Amino acid sequence: MKELEEKIKNDGSIISEDILKVDSFVNHQVDPELMLHIGQDFAEHFKGRGITKVVTIESSGIAPALMTAQQLGIPLVILKKQPSKILNDNLYQTQVTSYTKGTSYELTLSANYIGEKDHVLIIDDFLANGEAATGAIRLLRKAHATIAGVGILIEKSFQPGREKIKSQGFEVYSLARVSKMQKDYIEFIPEE
């Protein structure tokens, strides 16, 4: 998606060869017009597949996932990273290690919102090593839901995430695929 690539070039900040900061338009301050276009792109790509729910992991994936769900006319379910005093029964949980933060967390899904009749689209902001998406897949499998695919805003194609998800049998559709980055330079894989 050229619009997202241009936004990354103009407003993103490359912290290192592995870390790209997009907090000015994705996850601290959100560009609503860009999120609308992202939601439209994901909805167009995955339309006609019988998707019943969109799922994302709190919190950076919420804006694009919400716009995707809105475009598809279906609910959004948010997987929780933080424990809750009221969300404590009928849960699916799995351990996930965050590449960016270098920490682990207990990813949680309430069984009240996903079940065996659901065909789910996973939306996330980044794909690096594939740990977060794999954690979401594990939870959805515990709920006996099927998975339509994984939509990613920004994929670091030089890391193993895409192959990890594809090797599990799932499509990965990324809007911006970074092939290389360093301090003042970023390179994208051309759209197909």
128 is in an annotated binding site: yes
132 is in an annotated binding site: yes
In the chain, the amino acid numbered 175 is: L
Residue with tokens 């690539």: 5
Q: CA 31, CA 110: separation in Å to the nearest integer?
A: 29
How do strand 53-57 and strand 76-79 relate by DSSP bridges? parallel
Residue with tokens 């309430």: 110
Residues in CB range of 10: below 8 A, 6 or more apart: none
85 is in an annotated binding site: no
58 is in an annotated binding site: no
130 is in an annotated binding site: yes
90 is in an annotated binding site: no
63 is in an annotated binding site: no
176 is in an annotated binding site: no
Task: Print burial letters for 45-65: b (CB count within 10 Å at least 16), e (below 16).
Answer: ebeeeebbbbbbbeebbbbbb
Report the binding-site residues.
20, 27, 128-132, 156
Report the binding-site residues for 5-phospho-alpha-D-ribose 1-diphosphate.
128-132
Report the binding-site residues for xanthine.
20, 27, 156
